[in-house]
Amino acid sequence: MKHDIKPLIEVIPYRRRVWIAGFLKTTISSGLIATGIVSIFAGIIDHPLLKGYHEIGIMVGLISIGLSIAIITMIDHYDEKKKKEELEIIDSKIEDKAEEVAKKLVDKELEKILEGCK
């Protein structure tokens, strides 16, 4: 009786993790950080010492950078969780394969014993 063990590449949804933790995280964080830096500099340039009151640019910039840090943290937490799930799947696969090998060895030994009894 052979156990059907699927390859790890079929069991672990690695592609989704790469897109979320790689592409999506980089794109969103880069855009928000760039927006934050530009807004901060625009707010500083338009600061009351130079003209009128434009602290809103500084606030938008800080909020944008803070939001990017929050998003990066959330995605990294997701990535860590998915990596742990992958390792659990790998451990499970190793255990399944070890059981299959042990069963084959026991079956072979039983066959030898039965042949010896005949």
pLDDT digits (tens, 9 = 90+) for 35-60: 888 887 777 776 655 565 567 777 88
**pTM to 2 decimals?**
0.60
Q: Is 20 exposed, middle or buried (0-12, 13-18, 19+ CB in 10 A)?
A: middle
How far is Cα 8 from Cα 97, in angstroms, rounded to an integer?
12
Residue 25 domain flag: yes
> For the chain, how many structural domains are there in total?
1
* Domain carrying residue 59: 13-117
Residues of the chain with pLDDT below 70 are 1-6, 8-9, 46-54, 118
